[in-house]
Amino acid sequence: MKRTLSFFFKARYLGVVDYPVAWQAMKDFTANRVDRTLDEVWLLQHPPVYTQGIAGKPEHLLYPNDIPVIRTDRGGQITFHGPGQLVAYLLLDLRRLQLNVRGLVRKMEDSVIDLLADYRIEAKGCPDAPGVYVDDAKIASLGLKIKNGCCYHGIALNIDMDLKPFSAINPCGYAGLKVTQAKDLGVDDEIGVIGQKMLEKLQINLTGR
């Protein structure tokens, strides 16, 4: 009998959302939350966009194209978002979860690794370059902003998307870094199914239950 999880967070399924709209909503949510505010995880996709983290360098965009570049407040360098990529934004109270940033990053990576393991895909994290990798190709990027003990931003997992825009950047600041996606590794499930699995893995890894 399949176990039904009762999430400690509120899950929101937002569809396709412009990056600036989602970013502003995350900032507003975090600024207005109080001690009793329930944590939330937002699942969505973005129209094509490059986002440049606070450590990002302009030279990591190798050549300009028609895709907009947005400087954002998350950690890390440049990455690409587009349709077919599952984005999970984590709006969490780290104090309540008794987590530091390093611990949260590890649990985020483990959630993706465990999800892929369900599809018999062996993945791993990398201490020097946060994210999740399959055979040295990046399949998921991570980025966070911490404010007043709470976080926002989160995980971007490549499912079934156009990977060509990654060729115009040094993904996450690493020249020549290969990228991959779930479909190319034999995963046929739709993004909604994978999103539900992601929520379940986050629940287990963040709470241990």
6 marked among binding-site residues? no
9 marked among binding-site residues? no
Catalytic residues: 172
92 marked among binding-site residues? no
74 marked among binding-site residues? yes
Tokens for 58? Answer: 């302009």
156 marked among binding-site residues? yes
Instruction: 5-10: list long-range contacts, CB under 8 Å, 24+ apart.
Output: 5/199, 5/200, 5/203, 5/204, 7/41, 7/199, 7/203, 8/39, 8/203, 8/206, 8/207, 9/38, 9/39, 9/40, 9/41, 9/92, 9/202, 9/203, 10/38, 10/39, 10/40, 10/41
153 marked among binding-site residues? no
123 marked among binding-site residues? no
173 marked among binding-site residues? no
* Binding site residue list: 74-81, 141-143, 154-156
* Binding site residue list for substrate: 74-81, 141-143, 154-156
